[in-house]
Structure 1
Amino acid sequence: MTGLPRRLYVHRRVVAWGDCDPARIVYTPKFLDYALEAAEALFARLVGVDWYRLNLERGQGQPLVHADLDFVSAARPGDRLLLAVRIAALSRATLTYRVEARLAKGGRCFDATLVSVLIDTRRFKSISWPKDYRRRLAAYAALSQRKPRR
């Protein structure tokens, strides 16, 4: 596991042709996939384990219990997206991610709020964040809520 990031994590993604509908813009549900992909990448970077290994090796999961998407502009095949991921809230068992997606060529694309809960996958019951996870998630939450310097 690496040290904590010193700045806001930005996940980069290129829109693939297969992500689009007949109108040649991103198929709406794919935006949720993009937001989840960015949230998982941040989690893996902070905690040192991706959601797959979290489930298989540690018997823990992070299912989504709430998702909210606001669409601002369309994205097309080949567009590069920059997805800034913040941790907006951390409670006993839940984690709220905020994902702000921008087009690399300029302009907002979509905003997402994702709330997940940490569970024991054997009992399918919520559990408290382990101290090592909580410490790293809380530190990043504090960093990601700071106002940028001008």
Structure 2
Amino acid sequence: MTPNDFTATEYIVGTNPLVIRRRVKWGECDPAGVVYTVTFSEYVISAAELFYGSLFGTTPQRAKDEQGFGTPTRALDFDFRRSLRPDEEFEMTVTVGEIRNRTYVLRICARTLDGDIAFLAHLTPVCVARGERRSIDIPPAFRQALERYHNACAAEGCAAEGGPA
């Protein structure tokens, strides 16, 4: 084997909708070889960061800094369908659900490469003013980007699975 025989453990495989392929690492699992529950939160936050990078065309924190806002998590819920094990690859599809005044919903549907749903998640960030940590309306440019992405995905018929109830 050469160093080039290895692949990244996380990378983008599609952009409309955004699809991220990820490989489970041994350190993300318990001794029985099942992904720790808390690790799924990391998967979702990582998918959100890649989504922001794709949406803005730059690094997510730089783009949000330039616009003067942050996006801490207000809510996160899961519907687990099957376990994931070390070296197993899965894909997370990110779509935009509701866009409200200060919050919006990112829907993440994770599937094995065989197409089985591993988990569904809803991430609800809230927009806050940087430095002040007070909630603000979604900045207009960001709202427009979310709406464009949502509409483009809807036109392609790529809505994510229903997600958690």
Using the size of structure 1 for normalisation, the TM-score is: 0.86
Counterpart Cα distance in 2 of 1:40 and 1:144: 18
Runs of 4+ in 1 over 6 A off after TM superposition: none
Unaligned runs of 5+ in 1: none
2:10 matches 1:38: no
Counterpart Cα distance in 2 of 1:111 and 1:58: 30
2:21 matches 1:12: yes
For residues 23-76 of structure 1, the C-alpha deviation after alignment (integer angstroms, 9 at most, x for no partner) is 101111111110111111111111234443356555421000101101001111
Aligned pairs, number: 144
Counterpart Cα distance in 1 of 2:134 and 2:29: 36
Q: Is the 8 A contact 1:59 1:121 kept in 2?
A: yes
Map of 1:143 onto structure 2: 152
Q: 1:13 to 1:6 in 2, by over 3 A?
A: closer
2:139 matches 1:130: yes
Corresponding letter in the other structure for 2:142: Y
Map of 1:118 onto structure 2: 127
The Cα of 1:96 is off from its aligned counterpart by 0.5
Task: Report sequence identity in percent.
Answer: 32
For residues 89-113 of structure 1, the C-alpha deviation after alignment (integer angstroms, 9 at most, x for no partner) is 1122212000000011331100000
Using the size of structure 2 for normalisation, the TM-score is: 0.78
Corresponding letter in the other structure for 2:120: D
Q: Is the 8 A contact 1:63 1:117 kept in 2?
A: yes
Q: Is the 8 A contact 1:88 1:145 kept in 2?
A: no
SS in 1 for 2:150: helix
Corresponding letter in the other structure for 1:45: S
Q: 1:54 to 1:60 in 2, by over 3 A?
A: farther
The Cα of 1:124 is off from its aligned counterpart by 1.0
Corresponding letter in the other structure for 1:99: I
Q: Is the 8 A contact 1:102 1:110 kept in 2?
A: yes
Map of 1:108 onto structure 2: 117
Map of 2:81 onto structure 1: 72
